[in-house]
Amino acid sequence: MATDGRIRPSDLSAVALRDRLAAGSLKAVDLARDCLARTKALEPEIGAFVWLDPDFVMHQAEALDRHRATGRPIGRLHGLPVALKDIIDTARIPTENGTGIDKGRVPEKDAFVVERLKAEGAVIMGKTVTTELAYMNPPATRNPHRTNHTPGGSSSGSAAAVAAGMVPLAIGTQTGGSVIRPAAFCGVTGFKPTFGAIPRTGVLRQSQTLDTVGVFGREPRDAALLAEVLFGHDEADPATAPAPHPQLFVTASEAPPLPPVFALVKPPGWDTADAETREAFEELATALGEAQCFELPLPAPFADAGDLRRRINFAEMARNYHRFAKAGPDHLSPVLREALQEGSSTLAKDYLAALDWREVLYAGLAEIFSHADAILTPAAPGPAPADLTTTGDPIFNGLWTFTGTPAVTVPVFTAGNGMPMGAQLVGPRGSDGRLLRTAAWLMDRLDPVAD
């Protein structure tokens, strides 16, 4: 909010901004100018962007306003600034993948998701900071709520930019917990869709079995607005398949036909959750009532899911990051070198066996989803640690990445130290719209708690 008490455009949700832009009561140049002003004021402290050109931003906004003045149809994201994680290729704009090895790299072609953004009238705001090659080495970005706390990783810059009001929307990726965790730590909505829903063409490949493009917004309807534009099929990404275009935003904006039912799941590693997290979920379950929220256990084989996901991740990363490893150990952080070494030593039979477990574990979720609309589980063991040498623990995220299920986190809790905490919801594959609707219902229901 402005110092004179007026609501600034960057104080509004993406959906509210979309409506004002479409109605003509807000110009794209005014929104862009406000986002740039906020970014200029906060960026030195937060460090969300690795590349930002204000002239480029304003040029796009001016062109969009001229287009609208002609009376021709406008795109679904007309005038909305969107930030991109710096592992997503942008034509004639640097994409350096968080590593000095790619310093000065400028792609010739846009990634699939960037093409979609431009086609729908989005303003490409800039490239956000990521961890080294989207792995675990902490970046320079700081948490907007308290700058001595980690923002998470590896989509740290995207989550922080949305949380700080620099942009209404941003795109990241998740291979373990790189959308859900930073969203929870920074107090925004993070949405990781069903595996294969959004093409990854033009995005740095770490693990072809796990990599998933995700989005950030203030609330689930914002995430639905952006994700719907990105869903699709691309022959260049074999994980995608032809399918009817999803109505994510309409579905997420509707009231559920019945109050949703939640299965409270304590995943492997539950003992790492801090006391505040456990208490928050116990209180939430009580508030929802036994008929609407009940605890269900995961089958025993899920105890090994973390190790299986790690084996796949590291083996595929060792293959896909071969060119980076060739640059020499001095160009890579110790934590990345260790992961590549572990991946290189993985036996083929162990890697293939781990792949087999993905569908087995997903089948094990069928019983839970037959009783509940969504799984309710923590997004992280606690609020963002007051430690800039870590990106936090993804222990409660990797399972859902491994099984390819959609997951969304909403900022409905506040820790005793004032830091946000997220509730993570998980649904069956392909239920993305319904999951976002359930998340919107929960966030609306708990809004007084979130305040």
Per-residue pLDDT, 9:
84
For residue 366, what are the contacts with CB-CB under 8 A and spacing of at least 6?
A: none
Which of 27, 85, 127, 192 does the annotation list as catalytic? Answer: 85
Secondary structure letter of residue 73 according to DSSP:
-
Is 261 inside any structural domain? no
Q: pLDDT band for 451, please (50, 70, 90 cuts).
A: very low
- Categorise residue 88: left if φ over 0, alpha if ψ from -120 to 50, beta otherwise: beta
Per-residue pLDDT, 5:
54
Per-residue pLDDT, 8:
83
* pLDDT, tens digit, 9 for 90 and up, residues 345-381: 999 999 999 999 999 999 999 999 999 999 999 999 9
Is 280 inside any structural domain? no
Per-chain mean pLDDT for the chain: 96
Reading the block at residue 396, the tokens are 């409660």
Is 425 inside any structural domain? no
Task: Please check the confidence at residue 4 and state whether its pLDDT lies above 70.
Answer: no
Task: Please check the confidence at residue 56 and state whether its pLDDT lies above 60.
Answer: yes
* pLDDT, tens digit, 9 for 90 and up, residues 14-55: 999 999 999 999 999 999 999 999 999 999 999 999 999 999
Is 235 inside any structural domain? yes
Share of the chain above pLDDT 70, in %: 98
- CATH code for the domain in which residue 34 is found: 3.90.1300.10
Q: Is 178 a catalytic residue?
A: yes
Q: pLDDT band for 447, please (50, 70, 90 cuts).
A: confident
- Region 410-436: mean pLDDT is 98
State the burial class of residue 319 (Cβ atoms within 10 Å of its Cβ: 0-12, 13-18, 19+): middle
Per-residue pLDDT, 449:
39
Which of 10, 156, 158, 178 does the annotation list as catalytic? Answer: 178
Reading the block at residue 266, the tokens are 């304590």
By residue range, what is the domain housing residue 240? 9-252
Is 326 inside any structural domain? no
Per-residue pLDDT, 193:
98
Q: Is 207 a catalytic residue?
A: no
Q: Is 127 a catalytic residue?
A: no
Is 450 inside any structural domain? no
Secondary structure letter of residue 311 according to DSSP:
H
Which of 154, 155, 158, 431 does the annotation list as catalytic? Answer: 154
Q: How many domains, in total, are found in the chain?
A: 1
- Region 136-160: mean pLDDT is 97
Q: Measure the CA–CA gap between 406 and 163, rounded to whole angstroms.
A: 22
Is 151 inside any structural domain? yes
Per-residue pLDDT, 6:
64
* pLDDT, tens digit, 9 for 90 and up, residues 237-266: 999 999 998 999 999 999 999 999 999 999
Task: Please check the confidence at residue 446 and state whether its pLDDT lies above 90.
Answer: no
